[in-house]
Amino acid sequence: MGNTKNIMKKIKSALISVSDKSNLKPLLQILKNNNIKLISSGGTFKEIKKLKFKCSEVSDFTGFNEILDGRIKTLHPKIHAGILNKRNNKSHIKDLKKNNFENIDLVIVNFYPFEKILEKSKNHERIIENIDIGGPAMVRAAAKNYNDVTVITAIEQYSEFINELKVNKGNTSLSFRKKMSQLAFTETAYYDSVISSYFNKISKTYFPQKKIIHGNLIEKLRYGENPHQESAIYSRNKHLSINKIHGKQLSYNNYNDIFSALTISKTFPKNIGTVIIKHANPCGVSILKNNLESYKSALACDPISAFGGIVSCNFKVTQNLASELNKIFLEVIIANGFDKNALKILKSRKNLRLIDATKFSLSEILKFNSTSDSILIQSEDINQISKKEFKIVSKNQPSKSQFDNLIFAFNICRYVKSNAIVLASNKATVGIGSGQPSRLDSCQIAIDKMKKFIKSKNEIVAASDAFFPFVDGIEKLVQSGVTAVIQPAGSIRDKEIIKFANSTNTVLVFSKTRHFRH
């Protein structure tokens, strides 16, 4: 283990500069108990004095007054030499004596609240003034010199630090200093990444030369997709924008399904729409205005696949709907809130996860996919679909209800794994074919689902996430009773597809946009 003097380090002096001044008193008390000299500046100095603890001001310590409206406080050789010098290096010791500098053994710093200011303000000047310079500089210096110096960068570390001093009688161990150093470098990296992201955002640089991704650990999950895989969920914010209000811990697969469901739900008009997800694919969707009928029609699309799935309601769940939801086994129910009677019914199932997604939004989402040392990044396919994107290419013109159903089906199609085919009727899906290498197979699966579960005689429309490369796909749909088809343009056989549609009196609409989802 080596010389214990090099492992245990006595703290004699501390520099404290914190933006968040809460919970300082127990920290200051343990420092006083161990006769540790305090140095501080600005508001922290005033707070320490207010709490009736002895403290030297940084300007008195350095002999240099704060300047530039406080932009320069701790950026001084006496501060950084006191932190950075190696205590057993003769040259360093000589330099300190020559300049009449002294050691600083402990640095306690948390940064200007840049992230909080971003949430509260759009004033660029105010945001810039909340970029901390001196704090990260001191933290990096102390973290680099962890062999001799202890660094504390978060209020959450105070209790562990206090315990460390109590156990070691005013000393810190090398293992503790290493741990705090690692946390400190993570803190400065995170802080700089938030600043970098802000500048990329205001300059609309979505794919910079160097991409920095920051996130806060929300929770470590029991395992990943399978029990032998490790997993965790992170967020750019301190908390997720969804709130679990009941049920057992969410799994990796639960989260994957939840976000798949919400990506669809939040494209619907306010307080309308039900989505049922199984293995990240929709197996039933409806946008009927009556919420109970919306759920029933979504479930009718594929009630077998819905078993053990998740339901996302883009509205508040009431007692009547809760009673209906309670009739089948579900892993998760998502809603924009639940009324008291609904909660009473649904909470009777101990393990059923209930998620309040009222605050969830799809704004400015980037989608990530990683393999080995590479990360694929793209903007999410969430733009609102409008009729302007489409061109009617058949002689037969769609009715208003047909066109509405075509757009509904096309919107759902972009969230179904390719190759994707969605059959719809009366603002609800009636058959979904997903994830097949052959588009013809997806057509057949969607048709089979419809024939198995749906007895409706209403008009049926079909959507495809990409063009039909051959006539056989659209032919199969028309033979099953489809009267209108929507698909992206772009095939060398588009004219053949149009000719077939006209020969069968089928409505055919082309989209300017393709919507693969691999």
Residue pLDDT, tens place only, 284-315: 999 999 999 999 999 999 999 999 999 999 99
* 8 Å CB contact between 296 and 288: no
3-state secondary structure of 334: strand
What residues contact 337, with CB distance under 8 A and at least 6 apart? 316, 317, 356, 358
In the predicted structure, residue 5 carries a pLDDT above the cut 70: no
Give the per-residue pLDDT at 1: 39
**Does any domain span residue 355?**
yes
In a shared domain, residues 451 and 477: yes
Domain boundary pick from 147, 182, 202? 202
In a shared domain, residues 164 and 15: yes
With a pLDDT cut of 90, the percent of the chain lying above it is: 59
In the predicted structure, residue 91 carries a pLDDT above the cut 50: yes
Q: Rounded to an integer, what is the distance from CA 189 to the centroid of its chain?
A: 18
Is 1 exposed, middle or buried, given 0-12, 13-18 or 19+ CB atoms closer than 10 A?
exposed
**Does any domain span residue 65?**
yes
Domain boundary pick from 357, 380, 403? 380
In a shared domain, residues 189 and 334: no
Kindly state the average pLDDT of the residues 114-121: 84
Q: Which DSSP letter does residue 398 get?
A: P
Assigned token pair, 137 = 């500089």
**Does any domain span residue 110?**
yes
* 8 Å CB contact between 196 and 31: no
Kindly state the average pLDDT of the residues 448-475: 86
**Does any domain span residue 176?**
yes
* Cis, peptide link before residue 419, omega less than 30° from 0: yes
Give the domain range for residue 456: 387-511
**Distance (Å, whole) CA 11 – CA 65:** 26
In a shared domain, residues 135 and 51: yes
**Distance (Å, whole) CA 427 – CA 51:** 65
In a shared domain, residues 32 and 158: yes
Q: Rounded to an integer, what is the distance from CA 179 to the centroid of its chain?
A: 27
In a shared domain, residues 360 and 466: no
Give the per-residue pLDDT at 16: 93
User: What's 136's domain CATH number?
Assistant: 3.40.50.1380
Which one of 46, 214, 279, 499 is the catalytic residue?
279
**Does any domain span residue 406?**
yes
**Distance (Å, whole) CA 6 – CA 145:** 13
**Distance (Å, whole) CA 185 – CA 139:** 8
Band the pLDDT of 6: cuts 50, 70, 90. low
**Does any domain span residue 208?**
no
Q: Give the DSSP H/E element, type plus range, for residue 200.
A: helix 174-202
Give the per-residue pLDDT at 473: 84
Kindly state the average pLDDT of the residues 64-88: 83
- Write down the mean pLDDT value for the chain: 90
100: left (phi over 0), alpha (psi -120 to 50) or beta: left
**Does any domain span residue 106?**
yes
Give the per-residue pLDDT at 115: 82
- Nearest partner of 510 among 406, 428, 392, judged by Cα: 392
Band the pLDDT of 330: cuts 50, 70, 90. very high
In a shared domain, residues 177 and 154: yes
3-state secondary structure of 3: coil
* 8 Å CB contact between 173 and 8: yes
In the predicted structure, residue 207 carries a pLDDT above the cut 90: no
144 is catalytic: yes
Which one of 144, 244, 296, 499 is the catalytic residue?
144
Q: Give the DSSP H/E element, type plus range, for residue 412.
A: helix 400-413
In the predicted structure, residue 89 carries a pLDDT above the cut 60: yes
Hey, which residues does 285 pair with through a beta bridge? 275
SS3 content of the chain, % helix, strand, coil (to 5): 40, 20, 40
Helix (H) and strand (E) counts for the chain? 20, 23
Name the CA radius of gyration of the chain, rounded.
31
**Distance (Å, whole) CA 424 – CA 105:** 69
User: What's 412's domain CATH number?
Assistant: 3.40.140.20
- Model pTM score: 0.83
**Does any domain span residue 258?**
yes
Kindly state the average pLDDT of the residues 404-423: 92
In the predicted structure, residue 398 carries a pLDDT above the cut 60: yes
Report in angstroms the alpha-carbon separations of 76 from 59, 72, 81, 290: 10, 8, 8, 68
In a shared domain, residues 62 and 195: yes
Give the per-residue pLDDT at 2: 43
In a shared domain, residues 269 and 149: no
In a shared domain, residues 196 and 292: no
- Nearest partner of 38 among 133, 87, 106, judged by Cα: 106
In a shared domain, residues 393 and 373: no
In a shared domain, residues 360 and 263: yes
**What total of structural domains would you count in the chain?**
3
Kindly state the average pLDDT of the residues 130-153: 92
Domain boundary pick from 334, 355, 380? 380
In the predicted structure, residue 275 carries a pLDDT above the cut 90: yes
